[in-house]
């Protein structure tokens, strides 16, 4: 039986009680269950309360935080589950996701996604140093037995955020302010995200950023920051662990 990274980290008293975040996730799920034919929308007061709480970075992801890794991971998962719900609503057909439906959902639910996805980006960035600290505290023989499901989910989610951004850029239905919400969050967190990505996995977001950066404009500095970070070929800690396990 392997060891889960989160389970090996000494628990700290949370700087912010996550009960409100948990309750928001439950409220979101309840709204979905009550009306499975549609998704909660920001225009609806009860849904808006749940969504704004799920996406509240200033409250649940403060700069100085004593939240432990398992608690933080759960918060990230709650927000990401809502993201997936919006992106994939009605898209599973004959056992497969229909890409065109996912793209349409990204436009239809862009306001909800513009709230949730930046939170997910920042939440994952909070997890990375905690996981790195865990690795530094562990015996090398224990590290070799780690189960990497959580790390791989985090890596996949980072790349999915960049894929969402790439899809949104040419879509005239998506308002620039919503594109910028995700771009700002990714530029803000890229120097941390890159430490969790395998070197080969950095190529796609790097190439996206390089191409967009050449176009100039008010987003150029953010794209350049992403391109520079994703061009880094150092591989330590989480990256090295994933590389040793074939990812």
Q: Give the whole-angstrom CA distance, residue 203 versus residue 158.
A: 13
The stretches of 138-202 forming alpha helices (DSSP H) are 140-143, 149-168, 176-193
Predicted pLDDT at 7: 40
Q: How far apart are CA 102 and CA 89, in angstroms?
A: 8
pTM of the model: 0.89
pLDDT at residue 63 in the model = 78
Residue 101 is predicted with a pLDDT of 97
Q: What pLDDT is recorded for position 206? A: 98
1, pLDDT greater than 90:
no
pLDDT 10s digits, 87-129: 999 999 988 999 999 999 999 999 999 999 999 999 999 999 9
Mean pLDDT of the chain: 89
Angle between helices 19-34 and 45-54 (to 10 degrees): 140
Rounded mean pLDDT of 43-57?
A: 97
Q: Is the pLDDT of residue 5 over 50?
A: no
What's the mean pLDDT in 138-161?
76
What is the mean predicted confidence (pLDDT) over 195-213? 96
Instruction: Find the mean pLDDT for residues 57-67.
Output: 84
Nearest Cα neighbor of 190 from 148, 236, 232 is 232
236 vs 40: which has the higher pLDDT: 40
Location of structure tokens 């505290």: 137
Give the residue, 26 or 152, on which the prediction is more confident: 26
Q: Which of 8-17, 58-67, 233-242 has the lowest average pLDDT?
A: 8-17
Structure tokens at 210: 């390089």
* 20-29, 58-67, 82-91, 190-199: the lowest-pLDDT one: 58-67
Q: Cα(235)–Cα(195) distance, rounded to whole angstroms? A: 7
More confident residue, 143 or 150: 150
What is the pLDDT at residue 42?
98
Q: Give the model confidence (pLDDT) of 165-201 as tens digits.
A: 999 999 999 999 999 999 999 999 999 999 999 999 9
Quick check: 119 and 61 in contact, CB under 8 A?
Answer: yes
Under the banding of pLDDT at 50, 70 and 90, the label for residue 4 is very low
């Amino acid at each position: 039986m392997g060891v889960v990274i989160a389970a090996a980290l000494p628990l700290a008293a949370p700087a912010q009680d996550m009960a409100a975040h948990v309750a928001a996730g439950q409220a979101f799920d309840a709204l979905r269950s009550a009306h499975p034919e549609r998704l909660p929308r920001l225009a609806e007061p009860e849904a808006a309360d749940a969504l704004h709480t799920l996406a509240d970075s200033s409250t649940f992801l403060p700069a100085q935080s004593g939240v432990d890794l398992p608690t933080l991971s759960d918060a990230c998962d709650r927000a990401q589950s809502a993201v997936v719900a919006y992106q994939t609503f009605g898209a599973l057909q004959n056992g497969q996701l229909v890409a065109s439906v996912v793209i349409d959902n990204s436009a239809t639910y862009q306001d909800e996604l513009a709230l949730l996805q930046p939170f997910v980006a920042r939440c994952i960035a909070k997890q990375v140093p905690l996981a790195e600290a865990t690795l530094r505290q562990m015996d090398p023989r224990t590290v070799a037995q780690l189960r990497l499901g959580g790390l791989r989910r985090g890596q996949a989610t980072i790349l999915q955020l960049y894929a969402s951004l790439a899809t949104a850029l040419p879509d005239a239905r998506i308002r620039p302010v919503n594109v910028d919400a995700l771009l700002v969050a990714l530029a803000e967190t890229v120097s941390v995200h890159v430490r969790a990505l395998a070197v080969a996995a950095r190529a796609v977001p790097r190439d996206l950023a390089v191409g967009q950066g050449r176009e100039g404009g008010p987003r150029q500095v953010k794209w350049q920051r992403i391109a520079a970070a994703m061009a880094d070929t150092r591989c330590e800690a989480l990256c090295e662990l994933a590389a040793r396990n074939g990812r």
